[in-house]
A and B are shown apart, each in its own frame.
Chain A
Amino acid sequence: MGLNIQEIRNDFPILAEKVYGKPLVYFDNAATTQKPLSVIEAEADVYRRVNSNIHRGVHHLSNVCTEAFEEVRRKVAGFINAGSNEEIIFTKGTTESINLLATSFGEHFFSEGDEVILTEMEHHSNIVPWQLLQKRKGIHIKIAPVTDDGELDMDAFEKLFSGKTKIVSVTHISNVMGTINPVEKIIEKAHSFDVPVIIDGAQAIHHLPVDVKQLDCDFYVFSGHKMYAPTGVGILYGKREWLEKMEPYQGGGEMIDRVSFSGTTFNELPYKFEAGTPNFAGVIALGAALEYLKSKNLNDIWDYEHDLFEYAMEKMKAVPGIRLIGQASDHTSVISFLLGKAHPFDVGTLLDKLGFALRTGHHCAQPLMDRFGIPGTVRASFAFYNTRDEIDRLSEALNRVGTMLG
């Protein structure tokens, strides 16, 4: 048991890169993760050996490619313990999954004056699609507040429900603070009002085991590129009974049953929501990423990342002038901070020159920045290929940068 980190690092070719002559320290994993060689090879291999448009050919390659694509649908269903393969819709990412829901669920189930409940810690991609629906249909958006520690205020959340609440959409884990939300409780509460729940799992899926049946969530969405898979693929899991009632999102090839100018009938699940040629090479490589994650065991990954996080917190707290944003008790390996009075942009610029890839700014969560009255943060987010040694180097660098900007 336990992970062999050196071996894992060797699986990720990019980690050997240098920036400005210094070894790259990649702490921007919440934005996107790096890819293991097996994933890179899997995608290249599609183009090398089986590239062919799926679902429509009579020829051999098309069948091989289609089978590889559909095999990944089964793998994803297994990975999150979905009830059936038809409940797995391929999209291009979390953002598209949520837009699909806000449109297809929104158009069907919302009338003017109906309400969606979000939280103050949502990523813009779980805010703006609902604002677009608001414009189209005159719905209301209700916001559950965040406490000073960066946790969801559950009492306030529960009070937001009304007879007009049609759906709840919350992030599993905050991309800014790493807060793990009590999604089981949220789902239970919503269901007690007969309200379905969307969980934005973009920051969760690669950090902890997710079982959609056990959670009993109605929808769960995530992006491939944050879970060691290529960019441009994403997942929408939805319970069949909801997906069947929803209208298609986009029209085109693949999603139809029969097209005529007097009317068109739609294909079955999951194809009803997959208009056009999908990113099949990316999907097939996502399969390799799932295999990779499974081979490392998500429980071991969780333990290692958690240990790394605890170590980093201890080191960070010792940096003079540091202010941590969000100190929730339930937490993944994301640390947002400010350094004295320094602007996050300055801190990030100097750290970049020292070889650290971190993110600065509002992290697509401006309402949360407003909540804390700050323009942005510096964010370090860790993955299982990061090490204590890298964290030591970060804390040294922060001391140096703090002195320069102090």
Chain B
Amino acid sequence: MTINEKQDEIIEEFSAFDDWMDKYSLLIEMGNELDSFDEVHRKEQNLIEGCQSKVWLHAELNDGKMEFQGDSDAIIVKGIVALLLRVLSGHTPDEILDADLYFIDKIGLKEHLSPTRSNGLVAMIKQIKAYALAFKVKQN
């Protein structure tokens, strides 16, 4: 699936709910189901500190595709991390650099990506793109 196909799939899943609590239940479930974060990667340089919550992010390049692991101490943030990783893991650095992440807005979670929320997600997306750029440069 392309990045946009995955985004559309998520939008579809969330469209079943119009109550906020149901949406958040789904998000919490996704956070709980996120693959566990490899403890060897839980180190300072992988930590993105928001004012309220923390995010950990580890990235590697396998056969030209990027793989991510992520975690957060807040379950709602972790749910959004799970969604982002589902959309972006397994894609090339170029695809990730070009990605327009519209699904967050479409499923009504845009507020979590506002810089004033300071939950680490904005910095995390920046970090993902920075990794993609670094891998791309290294590849060439």
A404/B21 in contact, CB under 8 A: yes
In angstroms, how far is the closest chain B Cβ from the Cβ of A355? 10
In angstroms, how far is the closest chain A Cβ from the Cβ of B98? 31
CA distance A361 to B20 in the complex (A): 22
Q: Which residue of B lies closest to A350 (CB)?
A: B24
Chain A residues closer than 8 Å to B51, beta-carbon distance:
361
User: How many pairs of residues, A versus B, come closer than 8 Å at their CB atoms?
Assistant: 39
CA distance A405 to B75 in the complex (A): 8
Q: Which residue of A lies closest to B77 (CB)?
A: A345
B24/A349 in contact, CB under 8 A: yes
A375 at interface (Cβ–Cβ under 8 A)? yes
CA distance A375 to B73 in the complex (A): 10
B28/A405 in contact, CB under 8 A: yes
Q: Knowing A361-B51, A361-B52, A376-B52 touch, does A343 contact B75 (C-beta < 8 A)?
A: yes
Interface residue count for A (Cβ, 8 Å)? Answer: 17
CA distance A346 to B74 in the complex (A): 6
CA distance A350 to B52 in the complex (A): 15
B66 at interface (Cβ–Cβ under 8 A)? no
A-contact bits for B26-53, CB 8 A (1 contact / 0 none):
0010000000000000000000000111
B-contact bits for A338-372, CB 8 A (1 contact / 0 none):
00001111100110011000001100000000000
Chain B residues closer than 8 Å to A350, beta-carbon distance:
21, 24, 76
B114 at interface (Cβ–Cβ under 8 A)? no
B53/A345 in contact, CB under 8 A: yes
Q: Contact partner of A345 among B25, B28, B74, CB < 8 A?
A: B74
Q: Which residue of A lies closest to B21 (CB)?
A: A353
In angstroms, how far is the closest chain A Cβ from the Cβ of B113? 13
Chain B residues closer than 8 Å to A261, beta-carbon distance:
none
Q: Which residue of A lies closest to B51 (CB)?
A: A361
CA distance A361 to B118 in the complex (A): 11
B21/A345 in contact, CB under 8 A: no
A20 at interface (Cβ–Cβ under 8 A)? yes
In angstroms, how far is the closest chain A Cβ from the Cβ of B37? 16
| CB-CB contacts below 8 Å: A294-323 with B | none
Chain B residues closer than 8 Å to A376, beta-carbon distance:
52
B7 at interface (Cβ–Cβ under 8 A)? no
CA distance A344 to B77 in the complex (A): 12
In angstroms, how far is the closest chain B Cβ from the Cβ of A19? 11
A342/B21 in contact, CB under 8 A: no
B28/A344 in contact, CB under 8 A: no
Chain B residues closer than 8 Å to A344, beta-carbon distance:
52
In angstroms, how far is the closest chain A Cβ from the Cβ of B15? 18
A353/B20 in contact, CB under 8 A: yes
Q: Which residue of A lies closest to B29 (CB)?
A: A404
In angstroms, how far is the closest chain B Cβ from the Cβ of A153? 29
A346/B76 in contact, CB under 8 A: yes
A404/B28 in contact, CB under 8 A: yes
A404/B25 in contact, CB under 8 A: yes
Chain A residues closer than 8 Å to B53, beta-carbon distance:
343, 345
Q: Which residue of B lies closest to A341 (CB)?
A: B75
CA distance A56 to B20 in the complex (A): 55
B-contact bits for A263-303, CB 8 A (1 contact / 0 none):
00000000000000000000000000000000000000000
Q: Which residue of B lies closest to A360 (CB)?
A: B52
Chain B residues closer than 8 Å to A353, beta-carbon distance:
20-21, 24
A404/B74 in contact, CB under 8 A: no
CA distance A349 to B74 in the complex (A): 10
Of A342, A346, A354, A375, most B-chain CB atoms within 10 Å: A346
In angstroms, how far is the closest chain A Cβ from the Cβ of B80? 11
Chain A residues closer than 8 Å to B28, beta-carbon distance:
346, 404-405
A-contact bits for B74-94, CB 8 A (1 contact / 0 none):
111100000000000000000
Q: Knowing A345-B119, A360-B52, A405-B28 touch, does A20 contact B20 (C-beta < 8 A)?
A: yes
A404/B52 in contact, CB under 8 A: no
CA distance A361 to B53 in the complex (A): 9
CA distance A286 to B51 in the complex (A): 32
Q: Contact partner of B75 among A346, A361, A375, A400, CB < 8 A?
A: A346
In angstroms, how far is the closest chain B Cβ from the Cβ of A5? 29
B-contact bits for A101-139, CB 8 A (1 contact / 0 none):
000000000000000000000000000000000000000
Chain B residues in the interface with A (C-beta under 8 A): 20-21, 24-25, 28, 51-53, 73-77, 119
7 tightest A-B CB contacts, nearest first: A343-B74, A353-B20, A345-B74, A345-B52, A345-B53, A346-B76, A361-B52
Chain A residues in the interface with B (C-beta under 8 A): 20, 342-346, 349-350, 353-354, 360-361, 375-376, 400, 404-405
The contact sample of 19 A-B pairs, CB cut-off 8 A, is A20-B20, A342-B75, A343-B73, A344-B52, A345-B74, A345-B76, A346-B74, A346-B75, A349-B76, A350-B21, A350-B24, A353-B20, A354-B21, A360-B52, A376-B52, A404-B24, A404-B25, A404-B28, A405-B28
